[in-house]
Structure 1
Amino acid sequence: MSRTDEPLLRVTGLKKAFGANVVLNGIDFAVDRGQVTCLIGPSGSGKTTVLRCLNALESPDAGVLEFADGQRHDFAQPQSKVQRGALRDRSAMVFQHHNLFPHLTVLENVIEGPVHARKVPRAKAIADAERLLDRVGLADKRDSYPHELSGGQQQRVGIVRALALSPDLLLFDEPTSALDPELVGEVLLVLSELADEGWTMVIVTHELGFARQVADEVVFFDGGVVVERGHPSSLFTAPQHERTKRFLDRILRPMQD
């Protein structure tokens, strides 16, 4: 997962509306291989919708997604089931509220995607799942059910479930927002380790301290558009756009008091 000059993914002119509500109004950004991109901004600014479009959970009204190997999705044209499946295969998503299957054990949750979607032999999927569970400290929970786990443990299982798909792109939708404060750290630690390992990640987060620490690029959204983007060392300390300054001042000042 070494970095190259060619972006892994280029997003151009992405638009999405729900009825009269325009959520994305021409989004442009690129994600380099091995890069951690954090999407920040007020609630309702379109951040989660971007992730859902990247993972084919939503169909954009317009725009182009283009991968470095030439795979291209132009949403000016209707996308077939095969095309949507090809897009979904490039990424794996970790949701805000875990979204684990309550009737399946931890191990069964993790191998569900590899076995049924990727057609990985069951024995290999189990071996991979056990290795991944061990790396996040959950080897002893393989036969537990989601309700027997803490929120932080459930979210770590969600991360393992995504890793088990071996995606090009890991997508995280506010992975700590549903956790009690004392459990946030254990999930952020896993994300930091994944960043150090070179996984390509797009993370929607309100944890600005975390974004400052791990992001290669921070993208500030508001009103369905990209207002400003840059390295956290510059965007957080010397934002160029007045809207970015107001947002950061409102979020960061209480943290500093």
Structure 2
Amino acid sequence: MTEAHDAEPTRIRVRDLAISFGDQQVLRGIDFESQRGTSTVLLGPSGSGKTTVLRSLNALEIPDRGVIGIDDVEIDFADLPPNKAGRKQAARLRAQSGMVFQSHNLFPHRTVLENIIEGPVIAQQRPREEAIADAKTLLDQVGLGERADAYPFQLSGGQQQRVGIARALALKPRVVLFDEPTSALDPELVGEVLAVITDLAAQGWTMVIVTHEIRFAEQVADQVLFLDEGVIVERGSSAEVIGAPKQQRTRRFLERILSPG
């Protein structure tokens, strides 16, 4: 089983995060922290800024201002230089996390095993044999130990997403980021992916998850942040935010998701 813990605690620190795309202000001052070994779930309507928060944590989006820290790597984006030094800082932050996207984004011409070892071997320059051994362990963990030599087209959508999770974990990240990992799946395949994520939570991985699967969020979240129009409207445990929301906007959202009729 892959070990998620290190000698030092893993924490995520986000302060005053703001970003605009053209004239549209997408995030308006986001603040939160995540403790080592906890799962933070971001809920909210489409366009609320959830995915932008996630992509900022991974430095796939560069905020206009704000501070993001993961362990001992911290960036104040207001002071980030627009040059090679700034790109190097962003790359250091990106290396702290592994990201699982809505779509699987697997290389179609490479086997499952080759997809998983690509990052460790090419980006991290780890020995190929070490990367292969780790990849096989991860495939066993996500229930695909017998599919190492398969190609993505030979897998179901749920299996491809599980390979995507193994690929993210192969980078040995401090934090795992999930951007609506089941949104592209047929309903009957959702459970197998959520089961893998639930298992990761039980192992103590630090995770930030964007999802509309409310019952799953109740089960896995140590902290829930409800976003709307680029701000955090409500925060707390799953029992507080999902079970007994204080804000009318949160209640309306949950009612619409849980009772769409």
- Cα distance in structure 2, aligned partners of 1:253 and 1:206: 13
* C-alpha distance in structure 2 between counterparts of 1:48 and 1:67, whole Å: 18
Contact 1:7–1:30 (8 Å) recurs in 2: no
Tell me which residue corresponds to 2:247: 241
1:225 paired with 2:227, answer no
CA offset at residue 66 of structure 1?
2.2
Mark the runs of 5 or more structure 1 residues left unpaired by the alignment.
none
Provide the C-alpha distance between the structure 1 equivalents of 2:115 and 2:8, rounded to a whole number of angstroms: 36
Q: Which residue of 1 aligns with 2:80?
A: 78
Shift of 1:2: 6.2
1:3 Cα deviation after fit? 10
2:39 aligned residue: 36
The percent of aligned pairs where both chains have the same amino acid is: 61
Tell me which residue corresponds to 1:27: 30
Indicate whether 1:18 and 2:21 are aligned: yes
RMSD: 1.7
Secondary structure of the 1:137 match is coil
8 Å Cα contact 1:40/1:206 also seen in 2: yes
- Distance in 1 separating the partners of 2:232 and 2:65: 16
Gaps of at least 5 residues in structure 2 are: none
Change (3 A) 1:93 1:5: closer
TM-score under structure 2 length normalisation: 0.93
- Distance, in Å, in 1 between the alignment partners of 2:234 and 2:5 is 26
For residue 142 of structure 2, what is the aligned residue in structure 1? Answer: 136
Q: 1:30 to 1:135 in 2, by over 3 A?
A: same
The whole-number CA distance in structure 2 between the counterparts of 1:74 and 1:204 is 24
Change (3 A) 1:190 1:6: closer
Structure 1 CA distance, aligned partners of 2:88 and 2:29?
A: 25
**C-alpha distance in 2 between matches for 1:126 and 1:229:** 41
Large movers: runs of 4+ above 2 Å: 1-7, 66-69
TM-score (norm 1): 0.95
2:10–2:37 CA contact under 8 A, matched in 1: no
